[in-house]
Structure 1
Amino acid sequence: MDAPLSAWPWDNLGIFKYLVYGPFVAKVLYSWFHEEDIMQNWCLHLLILCVLRGVIHVSWDSYCNMLFLTRNRQIVQKGVDFKQIDREWDWDNFIILQALIASIACYMFPFLENLPLWNTKGFITALMLHVGVSEPLYYWVHRKFHGDYLFAHYHSLHHSSPVPRSFTAGHATILEHLVLSIVIGIPILGASLLGYGSASLIYGYVLIFDFLRCLGHCNVEVVPQQLFNILPFLRYILYTPSYHSLHHTEKDTNFCLFMPLFDALGNTLNRKSWLLYNKFSSNSGQNGVVPDFVFLAHIVDVSQAIHAPFVFRSLASLPYKTRFFLVPFWPITLMFLLAMWVWSKAFLFSFYNLRGRLHQTWVVPRFGFQYFLPFASEGINKHIEQAILRADKIGVKVISLAALNKNEALNGGGTLFVNKHPNLRVRVVHGNTLTAAVILNEIPKDVKEVFLTGATSKLGRAIALYLCRRRVRVLMLTLSTERFEKIQKEAPADCQGYLVQVTKYQAAQNCKTWIVGKWTTPREQTWAPPGTHFHQFVVPSIFPFRRDCTYGDLAAMKLPDDVEGLGTCEYTMERGVVHACHAGGVVHSLEGWTHHEVGAIDVDRIDLVWNAALKHGLKPVSSTK
């Protein structure tokens, strides 16, 4: 049985917990319809304050997840994983609680509804009450919560997050937030009871309080070193993220609210506090930890870019889908992407750790449609080349190219860069060998005939040659007899008869296994017989038009179970699942292979790469469902 006041009363309500705000909204609407002075309605101010508090926490989390800006000042060098994101999903419970408490206070003290806009004495009084009452009260109570019983039943929840973030500040039990409400309320209520209250004081104190709480939990050292060099005594007046991070790693130190002075007075100040601060505050010009592997992704469209973890971490932890409430963010996202485009540099998107190796995802700031514009190819290749050279310079071992970044027409599947820079130490990998392996291992062993579109593409060629060796008849849809014959000649002499050129979709009207490597319209899909399964490696995926057929997803694999710090879904993939080309780069890195994987797929290596992936714990998606 849970301890009293350890669980929130609306834990099981999900999104319906926000109905608690209903009475406040109703009161505001009532005042509006009756033409009352709506600005004097305390419910309106409560709602505005709740929104602003949420914005502060979300903004801090967004900043922390802008790894291209903050990676060199990250204190805990780990990613926020799905477990922590789910655990902190209802981080805003305390805002609802404190809104209810504030509404009760307004009924108990009616004069709070008619406070002036500004009162300088109120700010001075609130500051004195904060330093003289709230800070020591919080310090004393916080130390009590680290006692055996209170920590086990209440405070351990807050410390269960391995990587502090702004949302971690709100992640605690209801008892802790009731105490924190008293800490926040004393300066505001005290100044108001003395006749010095004001609306500015309430807004200012609460928002500054939240800002400083988020500052301490942000996991990025942002306090400039020059500030403490000029005014050394400020070290005891304002804590820093690195200072508070020591409380999460060494729990018997650094208990203060915002002022290390009380840790110094209570003899609980960690001796490593200033050393740690100096270390992280001086790291901004350094490259930081060098990853072993980089996956060079690209942007599909503006709406997909909103799926980035530095926009909404909770949404990025779920497979991408169109969400209409994100439409207002579209213009902001577009401007941000254009700024990144002007910056002309691949930016760090996310990272995770696997077998003690750091894996990062970099994103080329180009939209998907641009890859199909002939005049844009030079600029795109320049972006990709810069990313490869940057990876080579800092010591990355393997860089894997995402779907459109290795387009054959664009750069020959990466061949352009390897030929141009023959002395690259970083291995350039297109990952298509594993993509082919995933598709081929989805095809039942008893299949005797398949219909293949995109048959002369890089993947189509490899799939056709592999299947003909298995004595599977491959109907290769292509109008180019020259390309078909070139591929056919690559097959063993006794297998060449299993490759058959077809020029129309009608040729597949009796074939129930389609492998789609070229966009197929609904009209073209009508030629497939009922019960057909569409395997596919086309980007984007074909529209699932036929209800009497089944459609496979893009080739993908689930990362090993021991992956750490993974908290972002790769586009429409499920949690922990990545595109096969990404997985192919991971295998290349784990195996320590020293060759480039560019250009045409080596059919002889398909089984080798597949077995290596399974050996390292990667799983085909179909077997994980």
Structure 2
Amino acid sequence: MSTPPLSAWPWENLGLFKYLLLGPLVGTVIHLKHQGDDNLASNWCFHVLVISFLRSHIYLWYNNVCNMLFLTRNRRIFQEAIDFNQIDKEQDWDNFIILEALIASLAIYLFPHGFASLPLWETKGIVAIVLLHVLVSEPLYYWMHRLLHGNDLFTHYHALHHSSTVPQPVTVGSTTFLEALLVATVIGLPIIGCCLTGYGSKSVIYGYIFVFDFLRCLGHSNVEIVPSWIFDYFPFFRYLLYTPTYYSHHHRKMKNNYCLFMPLYDAMWNTLNPKTWDLHKKLTQEKGNSTRVPDFVFLAHVVDITSALHVPFVFRSFSSMPYHANLLLLPFWLPTFFVMLVMWAKAKTFLFSFYHLRGKLHQTWVVPRFGFQYFLPFACDGINKHIEEAILRADKLGVKVISLAALNKNEALNGGGKLFVEKHKDLKVRVVHGNTLTAAVILNEIHEDVKEVFLTGATSKLGRAIALYLCRRGVRVLMLTLSTERFQNIQQEAPPDCQKNLVQVTKYQAAQHCKTWVVGKWITPGQQRWAPPGTHFHQFVVPPIFAFRRDCTYGELAAMKLPDDVEGLGCCEYTMGRGIVHACHAGGVVHSLEGWTHHEVGALDVDRIDVVWKAALKHGLQPVSSCPK
């Protein structure tokens, strides 16, 4: 099937190299500066670049604020989350900014003196550009937009825009080339008209473009911020400025509300849906009352300074990919460090993301603490206070299951969540550390033909369960621990005929002939040297160990892929791939889906490892094995 004319972008195959299209503008500014032209105020190539830069940040930061669920969750119009498909589809959202910059540079080339002679301020220009917008741009956009909803034009040119399930400010740029040309005409005509009438100025041009962009962000934000009382006191105002609710009705229904910013033209041409105002009033007056209570909550924490930027409300496209250290993040390190100090002092647990699975709402809450803080003795009480408050809040809301992530269930911190369950014996919410499924994932990665395993972190919750399970399987487990008492306690838990399979070792040299290592305590590159070539390192240690040995293989942290019918998932969980979560997260999901009514805290019940594993597979969760066959 041939591509309709003007539907594809001319530079869609350039990737990031598309920004080189602005190179001539940059070159012109540098050339003029080199020639001794220090008056940048009269250099319109410079102004085009500045305007383009600021425009992109208007959309980016408005988009970021919309994704701050802890601020906007009670004002959302559509309750769905943004998924990976929408994020990928909107990856090149800023194409229209590049296009309009190129058009502006062409106009500068054709009329260089006209633009250079514009004054900084012209009061009459404000009146002129407002009148031109109201009398020219608004009706022009209305009819172009309405025509684009015709069958053939919609299919070829406008369907892409409406395919974004949840409108966001950057959804503005999810359009075809033809649509972008039409919008460029709409925004350009008042500017040209204002300049031709002699009332143009730099301030008017800057102001008009930025207000235009802000209003487009407002309509596409999916967050209702316009209070209904304004329309109650000033009824006619509802025809002068649309609201996010007004546009959202068009985005889903597509049969009315075609205006640019002014519903007046929908009213004039009988395409206004009067129910929009009722919906707007309901959303603003009942905000928060109809917020759905999550069925499951995963209580996460921040790992380090740079990974704190791996969140949807900072860089949406970055958070939609597995986290990796990036030099481009270095400029943000210091501001993030200061944010960390503020969070340390005052922040409370906040809503991070959410998705739907089997009709249940799953949310991720984040404790405002960074990984290194969990190892500071004086910080433990404060961290436990945050975790306790989150559990009590979940209990008050009616959440059924709350699962603790990584360091939030640290044994030394709170005994794997046992501290909270014993302190609040009447909890209705089930507290889950998820380690049972973590153990199951690791154990199912170990091949059945393995007869010997070297285990570090052997007396931890996970280490104990893995050792007891493997010894029952007939595997000889070399348990690295200096505490003979703790080793003997674990050994006595094993069946009498299996106790011989548990062997205490105190040095890494004992594993120099064992090719299967299960790492539960961080080991240095020097300690890894004792592993023989061909060793595979399974691990449940946070942070993961360095992949130092090239002649060995390294497993990732225990993880599982969520079922295929998960909806609204749009960010990756730390270093995990899309749709993949840490096993402790998946363990809480299984607990919720099964409807189990017991707490999973403290020591692991070895007899439940297979039960939890089979339940996970039954519900469509898939193991993510990093062990070579």
TM-score, normalised by the number of residues in structure 2: 0.98
The 2-side partners of 1:562 and 1:338 are apart by: 39
Report matched runs for 1:60-71 at 5 Å. Answer: 60-71=62-73
Following superposition, the deviation at residue 248 of structure 1 comes to 1.0
Counterpart contact for 2:75–2:288, Cα < 8 Å: no
Aligned to 1:21: 22
1:334 aligned counterpart, secondary structure: helix
Aligned to 1:107: 109
The 1-side partners of 2:253 and 2:606 are apart by: 53
2:568 aligned counterpart, secondary structure: coil
Following superposition, the deviation at residue 225 of structure 1 comes to 2.5
Counterpart contact for 1:73–1:283, Cα < 8 Å: no
Aligned to 2:415: 412
Which one of 315, 326, 329 corresponds to residue 326 of structure 1? Answer: 329
Aligned to 2:52: 50
Alignment of 1:485 onto 2:488: yes
Which residue identity is paired with 2:127? I
Alignment of 1:12 onto 2:8: no
Aligned to 1:565: 568
Aligned to 2:593: 590
The 2-side partners of 1:481 and 1:137 are apart by: 83
Following superposition, the deviation at residue 339 of structure 1 comes to 3.2
Which residue identity is paired with 1:19? L
Which one of 156, 165, 168 corresponds to residue 165 of structure 1? Answer: 168
Following superposition, the deviation at residue 557 of structure 1 comes to 0.5
Aligned to 1:606: 609
Aligned to 2:477: 474
1:450 aligned counterpart, secondary structure: strand
Alignment of 1:235 onto 2:238: yes
Alignment of 1:350 onto 2:353: yes
Which residue identity is paired with 1:555? A
Aligned to 1:380: 383
1:332 aligned counterpart, secondary structure: helix
Alignment of 1:295 onto 2:317: no
Aligned to 2:200: 197
Following superposition, the deviation at residue 341 of structure 1 comes to 3.3
Which one of 422, 425, 443 corresponds to residue 422 of structure 1? Answer: 425
Following superposition, the deviation at residue 338 of structure 1 comes to 3.2
Which digits, 9 at most, give the CA deviation of each residue in 1:249-286, with x for residues without a partner? 11011000000111111111112201111122124454
Q: How many pairs align?
A: 625
Counterpart contact for 1:414–1:428, Cα < 8 Å: yes
The 2-side partners of 1:518 and 1:548 are apart by: 21
Counterpart contact for 1:533–1:551, Cα < 8 Å: yes
2:300 aligned counterpart, secondary structure: strand
The 2-side partners of 1:624 and 1:358 are apart by: 32
Aligned to 1:512: 515
C-alpha change, 1:624 and 1:95, in structure 2 (3 Å) is farther
Aligned to 1:256: 259
The 2-side partners of 1:404 and 1:39 are apart by: 54
Counterpart contact for 1:434–1:580, Cα < 8 Å: yes
Which residue identity is paired with 2:84? F
Which residue identity is paired with 2:499? Q
Following superposition, the deviation at residue 623 of structure 1 comes to 8.3
The 1-side partners of 2:101 and 2:396 are apart by: 52
Counterpart contact for 1:451–1:514, Cα < 8 Å: yes
Report matched runs for 1:493-504 at 5 Å. Answer: 493-504=496-507
Following superposition, the deviation at residue 105 of structure 1 comes to 1.4
Aligned to 1:83: 85
Aligned to 1:444: 447
Following superposition, the deviation at residue 342 of structure 1 comes to 3.4
Counterpart contact for 1:452–1:475, Cα < 8 Å: yes
Percent identical among aligned pairs is 69
Counterpart contact for 2:471–2:494, Cα < 8 Å: yes
The 1-side partners of 2:158 and 2:290 are apart by: 36
1:154 aligned counterpart, secondary structure: helix
The 1-side partners of 2:241 and 2:334 are apart by: 37
Which residue identity is paired with 1:330? W
Alignment of 1:527 onto 2:502: no
Aligned to 1:542: 545
5+ residue gaps, structure 1: none
Which residue identity is paired with 1:167? V
Which digits, 9 at most, give the CA deviation of each residue in 1:152-171, with x for residues without a partner? 00000100100000010111
Following superposition, the deviation at residue 41 of structure 1 comes to 1.1
Aligned to 2:461: 458
Following superposition, the deviation at residue 624 of structure 1 comes to 12
Which residue identity is paired with 1:610? W
With 286-295 and 11-20 compared, the bigger mean Cα shift is at 286-295
Which one of 296, 312, 315 corresponds to residue 312 of structure 1? Answer: 315
Counterpart contact for 2:76–2:222, Cα < 8 Å: yes
Report matched runs for 1:381-400 at 5 Å. Answer: 381-400=384-403
Which residue identity is paired with 2:368? P
Counterpart contact for 1:344–1:383, Cα < 8 Å: no
5+ residue gaps, structure 2: none
Aligned to 1:141: 144
Counterpart contact for 1:143–1:255, Cα < 8 Å: yes
Which digits, 9 at most, give the CA deviation of each residue in 1:605-624, with x for residues without a partner? 00010011011111011289
Counterpart contact for 1:154–1:176, Cα < 8 Å: yes
Following superposition, the deviation at residue 287 of structure 1 comes to 7.1
Counterpart contact for 1:57–1:166, Cα < 8 Å: yes
With 182-191 and 230-239 compared, the bigger mean Cα shift is at 230-239
Which residue identity is paired with 2:185? I
The 2-side partners of 1:259 and 1:586 are apart by: 46
Which residue identity is paired with 1:490? E
Following superposition, the deviation at residue 321 of structure 1 comes to 1.0
Alignment of 1:98 onto 2:100: yes
2:245 aligned counterpart, secondary structure: helix
With 335-344 and 509-518 compared, the bigger mean Cα shift is at 335-344
Counterpart contact for 1:88–1:171, Cα < 8 Å: yes
Which residue identity is paired with 1:66? M
TM-score, normalised by the number of residues in structure 1: 0.99
